[in-house]
Amino acid sequence: MNWPATIVFLVLFGLVTIMGFLAANWRRGNLAHLDEWGLGGRRFGTLITWFLLGGDLYTAYTFVAVPALMFGAGATGFFAVPYTILIYPFAFVVFARLWAVAHRHGSVTLADFAKVRYGNRWLVLAIALTGILATMPYIALQLVGIQVVIGALGFETKGFIGELPLIIAFIILAAYTYSSGLRAPAMIAVVKDVLIYLTIIVAVIVIPTKLGGFGAIFDAVPDKNLLLAPAQPGNTGGISAYLTLAIGSALALFLYPHSVTALLSSSSSNTVRRNMALLPAYSLVLGFLALLGFMAIKAGVAANPRFTEYFAQYGNNFSVPALFLQYFPDWFVGVAFAAIGIGALVPAAIMSIAASNLFTRNIYREFIRPNCTPHQETNVAKIVSLVVKFGALLFILLLPSTFAIQLQLLGGVWIIQILPAVVFGAFTRFFDPRALLAGWAVGMISGTWMAASLGFKTSTFPLQVFGTVVPGYAAVYALLLNLLVAVVVTLALRAAGRFDATDRTAALDYEG
The type of residue at 202 is V
Q: Is residue 442 domain-resident? A: no
Distance (Å, whole) CA 255 – CA 442:
18
The answer to whether residue 363 sits within a structural domain is: yes
List of residues 6+ apart from 188 with CB closer than 8 A: 16, 19, 20, 23, 55, 342, 345, 346, 349
Would you give the distance in Å from CA 470 to the centre of its chain? 27
Smallest CA-to-CA distance from 380 within 350, 355, 347, 346 is with: 355
- Specify whether the CB–CB gap between 274 and 111 falls below 8 A: no
Amino acid occupying residue 207: I
β-strands 460-465, 468-473: how paired?
antiparallel
- Please tell me the number of Cα atoms within 13 Å of 481 on its side-chain side: 20
Residue 220 lies in a domain: no
Phi first, then psi: give them for residue 470, nearest 5 degrees.
-120, 90
User: What average pLDDT does the segment 449-469 reach?
Assistant: 90
Digit-coded pLDDT (tens) for 57-71: 887 777 888 888 889
Report pLDDT for 88. Answer: 93
| pLDDT > 90? residue 363 | yes
Residue 225 is assigned to a structural domain of this protein? no
CB 137 within 8 A of CB 51: no
Report the distance separating Cα 481 and Cα 103, nearest Å: 32
Q: Tell which residue, 136, 197, 147, 124, has the closest CA to residue 418.
A: 124
Whether residue 440 is contained in a domain is answered as no
Between 121-152 and 374-398, two packed helices, what is the crossing angle to 10 degrees?
50
Distances, alpha carbon 104 to alpha carbons 27, 100, 120, in Å? 22, 6, 19
C-alpha distances (whole Å) from 280 to each of 118, 285, 286, 356, 373 are 33, 9, 9, 29, 41
Among the listed residues 271, 266, 253, the one whose alpha carbon sits nearest the alpha carbon of residue 103: 266
CA distances from 413 to 354, 407, 435, 464 (A): 19, 10, 19, 19
Helices (H), 315-432: 319-327, 330-359, 374-398, 401-415, 419-422
What confidence tier does 6 reach under pLDDT thresholds 50, 70, 90?
very high
Q: What confidence score (pLDDT) does residue 403 get? A: 66
Contact (CB, 8 A) for 293 and 315? no
* This model's pTM is above 0.85: yes
Which residues does residue 471 pair with via DSSP β-bridges, in sequence order? 462
How many Cα atoms are found within 13 Å in the side-chain-facing hemisphere of 368? 12
Its domain, for residue 106, covers 3-213+246-415
Q: Is 309 within 8 Å of 148 (Cβ atoms)?
A: no
511 to 22, 94, 426: CA distances (angstroms): 35, 12, 11
Cα 192 to Cα 286: distance, rounded to the nearest angstrom = 15
Nearest to 454 by CA among 387, 388, 502, 406: 406
Please report, for residues 275, 345, 357, 413, 491, the alpha-carbon distance to residue 253 in angstroms, rounded to integers and kept in the order given.
15, 19, 18, 11, 29
- Give the residue among 388, 476, 112 at the shortest CA–CA distance from 260: 112
CA distance 266 to 103: 10
pLDDT tens-digit series, residues 186-203: 999 999 889 999 999 999
- What pLDDT is stored for residue 317 in this prediction? 86
131/440 Cα distance (integer angstroms): 13
Is residue 236 a part of any domain in this protein?
A: no
The segment with the largest mean pLDDT, out of 228-232, 305-309, 354-358, is: 354-358
Q: Which of 59-63, 95-99, 179-183 has the highest mean pLDDT?
A: 95-99
Average pLDDT over the chain reads: 90
pLDDT-derived band at 489 (thresholds 50, 70, 90) equals very high
In a domain, 421, yes or no: no
Has residue 113 been placed in a domain?
A: yes
Report the candidate in 298, 254, 246 with the shortest Cα–Cα distance to residue 99. 254
CA atoms within 13 A on the CB side of 507: 0
d(CA 321, CA 3): 16
Which band of pLDDT confidence, cut at 50, 70 and 90, is reported for residue 126?
very high
- Give the total number of structural domains in the chain: 1
> Whose CA is closest to 68, among 405, 391, 384?
405
Per-residue pLDDT of 213-246, as tens digits, reads 999 999 999 888 888 888 888 888 888 989 999 9
Report phi then psi at 471, rounded to 5: -65, 135
Nearest to 174 by CA among 24, 327, 19, 353: 353
Average pLDDT over residues 292-321: 90
Q: Distances in Å between the alpha carbon of 185 and those of 22, 135, 258, 315, 356?
A: 11, 17, 11, 30, 15
